[in-house]
């Protein structure tokens, strides 16, 4: 219930989310029960010790026997549960050791074993509770109610009553109740509950907002796009619930070792008894064989890995999935929405330099986006989004006519604008100004640049949207689904983690898929796949390797289920893919997959080390005990030390090791995001260099030098100060984080080369005379402009992949670029 509209969560929800509290009353938890067992065991051991010191051996014997009996109850329960599932686990040795100590009168040894088992269970419960803390935080943030706009008023309703299309008001500090889109203005969203990233994200009108996040700014209106049940946050909570305490999976490794260890311990105990005729030797063997390293060390290491992965936004559905993730050999990726941004993005703006709009690419985007505001086409949304990212003022169009599949035309601030195919854009504006249907073919009217655009689209697999303005074809906007900014870094980290083969499987055309695959460096591209083809590809790879399949769509669900480990992107993906997957990325960062694989591999390694350490030391002690060198009571104390060593080693999985991901936080992350935003701002300006080079063959000498001069001014006034600031402010931070200047030496050398090329360009422009500009001068100028442009594009890409992706925040999407033909 809300009071004054200031909260969208009920107080009772927070209480329910707290461990050990139900309706205000404390309830029993595994940790509380284990602590009680430890208290009883230590109390019984202490009472027996007091009786022994005061020479009351009967009291001490009873106290220690009762202590052994207390520990025997949960041990027997565990054995019975295992037998019910047709499994003879490692608890058998613990039960035999406790029974044996009491049977032969070694009550002190039985009490020590009881304390050992109780403290081990407490450590396990504590580690499990710590591991689930991040998951409980997700559940505690689940929204309960919302304010819905109904007419002129606001009404508080339960989130279950929200329908798709409802207009909601999210106040400052409130939880976003369902998935939706910002209706107008902007919203500042704190996504830390889902992603762990502390920096709030600014959302513009039309941007998607996920439920469970917090409004860190002023009130805003949200148009619901899902119900509460179908929201992204509800799906994540369901995944959390399915991921809780999957102990069956996490002890698989222990069970494998137990198959050899338990029979060996029982056989050695039987031989010691048979050959010596002393039952005490058999009991001593069983005491030092008490398998706490197997019972506890493996689950502790695995659950610790689950906890660390969850804190990085990766929910792994149990220990079995974590083990499999850590030994993966082959990773298969879907393309669209997984390796790529997943939505059309304006990547180039090509204009006819002879047209009125050709000299102003930003104006071309503004006109096209203004017209497309009223179009439901997916490419129209991409143009409007691009204009808003550039802060271009849009005008509401008039006299709009749209022909589905071809284009749209209308008037924008008195200008005739048409957007669509080349034929439509040229004919539409031609007809509008009286040229009639017999207007000249666009390929002839547009000239060579139109053919160039079409060829680029064929080679790159892009889509071109042509724009006609005031009676002529003015330019084209090139749209593509570019690779995600963090994809190259993720692939490099996978290879560093030992993944031997990376495959991309996609339903896209072969030429598009191969272009993306070549840019990312995957080993094989399988294109034009149906869901059945993806399933077949996963099965084929699975015949020879442990496979991981990564996807986000409904068509990926069969392949996700068939892979050794299926990984779904919950931040963008569908419920079907998340349900079918073993691992879910709740944060929109693909590079977290590489982190999770490194965490999994380290956790499994630590679990194996802990088991081998405990078993090795126990085997040595068992041999000594079988020859009579170790009595039951000292053996129990020795085994306690062995258990502590094994469990302590397992707890190392809670801390980062070599799998630690280098990342920037706080002020460092803010600085990284600042320079990334600078890249976003400067990128369109880089194409002044390419546009100046592109017109060198056809334009007049004065125009060539004018454009080259504009490009040079951009470099001197905007680009070089940015590069100098990176060297002076950002690179020293990277040096300290990455552990040496070698990590930034190459980029600093690139800065020197950029300065050198800009100086050369300035000196060349000082020497050139428009009245005496010959072919050799134009060639030198064009080569220098193209060279500087290529160096800058490569340098920007390297910084974005290697440095800006280190910030714990979503990567900035690629900005659009402007090109003048």
- pLDDT digit string (tens) for 551-599? 876 667 778 878 888 888 876 655 555 666 788 888 778 888 888 898 9
pLDDT beyond 60 at 127: no
Mean pLDDT, rounded, for 347-355 = 69
pLDDT beyond 80 at 458: no
Identify the residue with better confidence: 494 or 96: 494
pLDDT beyond 60 at 195: no
Which pLDDT score, from 0 to 100, does residue 811 have?
45
Residue of 459, 187, 455, 461 whose CA lies nearest to 344: 461
Cα–Cα distance list, 586 to 191, 335, 657, 709 (Å): 11, 18, 23, 48
Which pLDDT score, from 0 to 100, does residue 82 have?
67
**pLDDT tens figures, 200-233:** 677 888 888 888 788 888 889 999 998 888 776 6
Mean pLDDT, rounded, for 127-144 = 57
User: In angstroms, rounded to a whole number, what is the distance separating the alpha carbons of residues 112 and 119?
Assistant: 11
Which pLDDT score, from 0 to 100, does residue 87 have?
61
Residue of 809, 305, 741 whose CA lies nearest to 588: 809
Q: Show Cβ contacts of residue 208 under 8 Å, excluding neighbours closer than 6 positions.
A: 179, 180, 181, 225
Q: Show Cβ contacts of residue 344 under 8 Å, excluding neighbours closer than 6 positions.
A: 378, 379, 381, 382, 463, 479, 480, 481
User: In angstroms, rounded to a whole number, what is the distance separating the alpha carbons of residues 163 and 169?
Assistant: 14
Identify the residue with better confidence: 388 or 75: 388
Which pLDDT score, from 0 to 100, does residue 810 have?
45
From the candidates 246, 334, 556, 582, which is the catalytic residue?
334
Residue 740 CB coordination number (10 Å): 10
Which pLDDT score, from 0 to 100, does residue 447 have?
61
Which pLDDT score, from 0 to 100, does residue 525 have?
93
Q: How large is the C-alpha radius of gyration of the chain? A: 34
Q: Is the dihedral of CA 390, 395, 396, 401 positive or negative?
A: negative
Tokens 């919203």 belong to 187
Mean pLDDT of the chain: 76
Lowest mean pLDDT among 166-170, 237-241, 280-284, 687-691: 237-241
pLDDT beyond 50 at 243: no
**What is residue 55's three-state secondary structure?**
coil
3-class secondary structure for 635-659? HHHHHHHHHHHHHHHHHHHHCCCCC
Specify whether 556 is catalytic. no
CB 818 within 8 A of CB 361: yes
Which pLDDT score, from 0 to 100, does residue 38 have?
81
Region of 461 on the Ramachandran plot (φ > 0 left; ψ -120 to 50 alpha; else beta): left
Mean pLDDT, rounded, for 286-295 = 67
pLDDT beyond 80 at 20: no
Lowest mean pLDDT among 304-313, 551-560, 585-594, 671-680: 551-560
Record the tokens describing residue 713, joined without a space: 């001014």
What DSSP character marks residue 297? I
Lowest mean pLDDT among 148-152, 507-511, 724-728: 507-511
Mean pLDDT, rounded, for 425-441 = 45
Tokens 């509950």 belong to 193
Cα–Cα distance list, 420 to 369, 426, 428, 732 (Å): 12, 9, 10, 48
What DSSP character marks residue 661? P
User: In angstroms, rounded to a whole number, what is the distance separating the alpha carbons of residues 512 and 94?
Assistant: 61
Q: What b-and-e string marks burial along 367-401, b requiring 16 or more CB atoms within 10 Å of the CB?
A: bbbbbbbebebebbbbbbbbbebbebebbebeebe
Q: How confident is the model at residue 141 (pLDDT cuts 50, 70, 90)?
A: low
478-481: long-range contacts (C-beta < 8 A, 24 or more apart)?
478/346, 478/347, 478/348, 478/349, 478/350, 478/453, 479/344, 479/345, 479/346, 479/347, 479/379, 479/382, 480/344, 480/345, 480/347, 481/336, 481/340, 481/341, 481/342, 481/343, 481/344, 481/345
Which pLDDT score, from 0 to 100, does residue 554 have?
61
Helix, strand, coil tally for the chain in percent (to 5): 60, 15, 25
**pLDDT tens figures, 611-655:** 888 788 888 888 888 888 888 778 777 877 777 787 788 888 877
Angle at which helices 378-389 and 361-372 pack, to 10 degrees? 130
What is the length of the chain? 821
Q: Show Cβ contacts of residue 140 under 8 Å, excluding neighbours closer than 6 positions.
A: 13, 14, 17, 18
Identify the residue with better confidence: 357 or 801: 801
pLDDT beyond 80 at 174: yes
pLDDT beyond 50 at 436: no
Which pLDDT score, from 0 to 100, does residue 206 have?
85
Q: How confident is the model at residue 292 (pLDDT cuts 50, 70, 90)?
A: low
Mean pLDDT, rounded, for 437-450 = 48
DSSP alpha helix (H) spans, 174-295: 192-195, 232-243, 247-250, 252-276, 279-288, 292
Q: Is the dihedral of CA 631, 636, 641, 645 positive or negative?
A: positive
Q: How confident is the model at residue 355 (pLDDT cuts 50, 70, 90)?
A: very low
pLDDT beyond 90 at 333: yes
Tokens 């007091």 belong to 50
Which pLDDT score, from 0 to 100, does residue 754 have?
92
Mean pLDDT, rounded, for 680-691 = 78
Identify the residue with better confidence: 331 or 814: 331
Tokens 């600085």 belong to 671
- As a whole-number percent, the residues of the chain with pLDDT over 70 amount to 76
Give one DSSP letter per residue of 303-366, joined into a string. Answer: HHHHHHHHHTTEEE-SHHHHHHHHT--EEEE-IIIIIB-SS-EEEEEEE-TTSTTTT-HHHHHH
CB 770 within 8 A of CB 757: no
Which pLDDT score, from 0 to 100, does residue 485 have?
77
Which pLDDT score, from 0 to 100, does residue 7 have?
32
Please name every residue paired with 186 in a beta bridge, in sequence order, or none if there are none. Answer: 204
User: In angstroms, rounded to a whole number, what is the distance separating the alpha carbons of residues 21 and 15?
Assistant: 6
Mean pLDDT, rounded, for 314-318 = 82
pLDDT beyond 60 at 815: no
Mean pLDDT, rounded, for 426-438 = 46
User: In angstroms, rounded to a whole number, what is the distance separating the alpha carbons of residues 284 and 447?
Assistant: 94
pLDDT beyond 50 at 468: yes
Which pLDDT score, from 0 to 100, does residue 330 have?
93
Mean pLDDT, rounded, for 279-287 = 80
Q: How confident is the model at residue 12 (pLDDT cuts 50, 70, 90)?
A: very low
CB 303 within 8 A of CB 248: no
Tokens 């050990």 belong to 20
Lowest mean pLDDT among 123-137, 201-215, 473-487, 496-510: 123-137
pLDDT beyond 60 at 170: yes
Identify the residue with better confidence: 722 or 427: 722
Residue of 7, 308, 310 whose CA lies nearest to 137: 310
Residue of 381, 352, 355 whose CA lies nearest to 368: 381
User: In angstroms, rounded to a whole number, what is the distance separating the alpha carbons of residues 448 and 223?
Assistant: 45
Q: How confident is the model at residue 188 (pLDDT cuts 50, 70, 90)?
A: confident
Q: Is the dihedral of CA 251, 257, 261, 263 positive or negative?
A: positive
Identify the residue with better confidence: 702 or 428: 702
Tokens 């998340």 belong to 578
- As a whole-number percent, the residues of the chain with pLDDT over 90 amount to 10
**pLDDT tens figures, 371-414:** 999 887 778 888 998 888 778 889 999 988 888 767 888 999 88
CB 199 within 8 A of CB 672: no
Which pLDDT score, from 0 to 100, does residue 223 have?
92
Give one DSSP letter per residue of 107-156, joined into a string. Answer: HHHHHHHHHHHHHHHHHHHHHHHHHTHHHHHHHHT---EEEEEETTEEEE
Which pLDDT score, from 0 to 100, does residue 503 have?
94
């Amino acid at each position: 219930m809300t009071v004054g509209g200031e909260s969208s969560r009920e107080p009772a929800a927070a209480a329910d989310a707290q461990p050990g509290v139900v309706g205000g009353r404390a309830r029993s938890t595994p940790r509380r029960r284990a602590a009680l067992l430890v208290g009883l065991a230590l109390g019984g051991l202490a009472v027996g010790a007091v009786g022994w010191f005061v020479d009351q051996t009967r009291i001490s014997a009873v106290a220690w026997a009762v202590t052994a009996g207390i520990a025997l109850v949960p041990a027997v329960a565990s054995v019975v549960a295992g037998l019910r599932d047709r499994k003879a686990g490692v608890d058998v040795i613990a039960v035999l050791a406790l029974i044996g100590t009491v049977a032969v009168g070694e009550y002190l040894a039985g009490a020590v074993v009881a304390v050992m088992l109780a403290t081990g269970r407490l450590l396990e419960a504590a580690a499990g509770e710590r591991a689930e803390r991040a998951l409980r935080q997700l559940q505690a943030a689940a929204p309960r109610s919302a304010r819905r706009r109904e007419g002129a008023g606001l009404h508080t309703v339960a989130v279950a009553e929200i329908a798709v299309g409802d207009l909601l008001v999210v106040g400052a500090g409130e939880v976003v109740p369902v998935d939706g889109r910002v209706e107008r203005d902007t919203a500042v969203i704190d996504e830390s509950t889902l992603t762990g990233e502390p920096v709030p994200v600014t959302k513009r009108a039309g941007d998607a907002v996920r439920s469970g996040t917090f409004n860190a700014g002023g009130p805003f209106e949200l148009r619901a796009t899902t119900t509460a049940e179908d929201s992204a946050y509800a799906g994540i909570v369901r995944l959390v619930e399915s991921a809780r305490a999957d102990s069956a999976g996490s002890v698989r490794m222990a069970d494998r070792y137990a198959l050899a260890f338990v029979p060996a311990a029982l056989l050695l105990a039987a031989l010691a008894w048979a050959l010596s005729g002393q039952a005490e030797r058999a009991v001593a063997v069983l005491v030092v064989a008490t398998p706490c390293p197997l019972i506890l060390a493996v689950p502790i290491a695995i659950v610790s890995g689950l906890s660390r992965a969850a804190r990085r936004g990766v929910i792994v559905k149990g220990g079995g999935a974590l083990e499999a993730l850590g030994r993966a050999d082959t990773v298969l990726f879907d393309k669209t929405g997984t390796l790529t941004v997943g939505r059309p993005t304006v990547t180039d703006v090509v204009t006819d330099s002879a047209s009125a709009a050709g000299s102003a690419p930003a104006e071309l985007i503004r006109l096209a986006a203004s017209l497309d505001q009223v179009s439901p086409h997916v490419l129209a949304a991409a143009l409007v989004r691009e204009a808003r990212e550039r802060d271009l003022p849009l005008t509401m169009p008039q006299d709009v006519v749209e022909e589905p599949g071809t284009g749209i035309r209308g008037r924008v601030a008195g200008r005739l604008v048409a957007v669509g195919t080349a034929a439509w854009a040229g004919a539409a504006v031609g007809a509008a100004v009286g040229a009639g249907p017999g207007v000249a073919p666009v390929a002839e009217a547009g000239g060579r640049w139109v053919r160039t655009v079409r060829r680029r689209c064929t080679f790159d697999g892009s889509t071109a949207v042509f724009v006609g303005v005031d009676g002529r074809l003015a330019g084209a906007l090139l749209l593509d689904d570019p690779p995600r900014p963090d994809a190259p870094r993720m692939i490099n980290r996978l290879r560093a983690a030992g993944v031997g083969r990376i495959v991309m499987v996609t339903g896209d055309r072969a030429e598009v898929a191969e272009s993306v695959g070549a840019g990312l460096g995957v080993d094989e591209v399988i294109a034009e796949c149906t869901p059945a083809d993806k399933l077949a590809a996963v099965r084929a790879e699975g015949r020879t390797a442990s496979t991981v399949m990564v996807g986000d769509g409904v068509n990926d669900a069969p392949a996700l289920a068939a892979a050794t480990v299926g990984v779904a992107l919950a931040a963008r993906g569908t419920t079907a893919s998340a349900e079918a997957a073993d691992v879910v990325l709740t944060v929109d960062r693909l590079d977290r997959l590489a982190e999770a694989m490194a965490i999994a591999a380290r956790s499994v390694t630590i679990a194996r080390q802990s088991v081998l350490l405990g078993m090795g030391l126990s085997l040595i002690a068992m041999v000594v005990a079988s020859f009579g060198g170790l009595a039951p009571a000292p053996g129990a104390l020795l085994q306690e030390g062995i258990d502590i060593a094994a469990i302590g080693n397992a707890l190392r999985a809670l801390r980062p090791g070599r799998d630690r991901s280098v990342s920037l936080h706080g002020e460092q992350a803010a600085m990284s995001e600042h320079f990334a935003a600078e890249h976003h701002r400067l990128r369109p300006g880089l194409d002044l260099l390419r546009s100046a080079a592109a017109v060198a063959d056809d334009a007049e000498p004065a125009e060539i030098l004018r454009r080259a001069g504009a490009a040079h001014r951009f470099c001197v006034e905007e680009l070089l100060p940015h590069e100098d600031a990176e060297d002076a402010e950002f690179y020293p931070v990277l040096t300290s984080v990455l552990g040496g200047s070698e990590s930034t030496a190459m980029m600093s050398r690139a800065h020197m080369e950029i300065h050198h090329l800009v100086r050369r360009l300035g000196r060349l422009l000082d020497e050139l005379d428009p009245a005496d500009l010959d072919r050799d001068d134009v060639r030198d100028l064009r080569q220098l402009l193209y060279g500087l442009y290529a160096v800058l594009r490569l340098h920007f890409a390297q910084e974005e992949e290697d440095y800006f992706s280190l910030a714990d925040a979503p990567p900035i999407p690629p900005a659009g670029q402007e090109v003048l033909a």
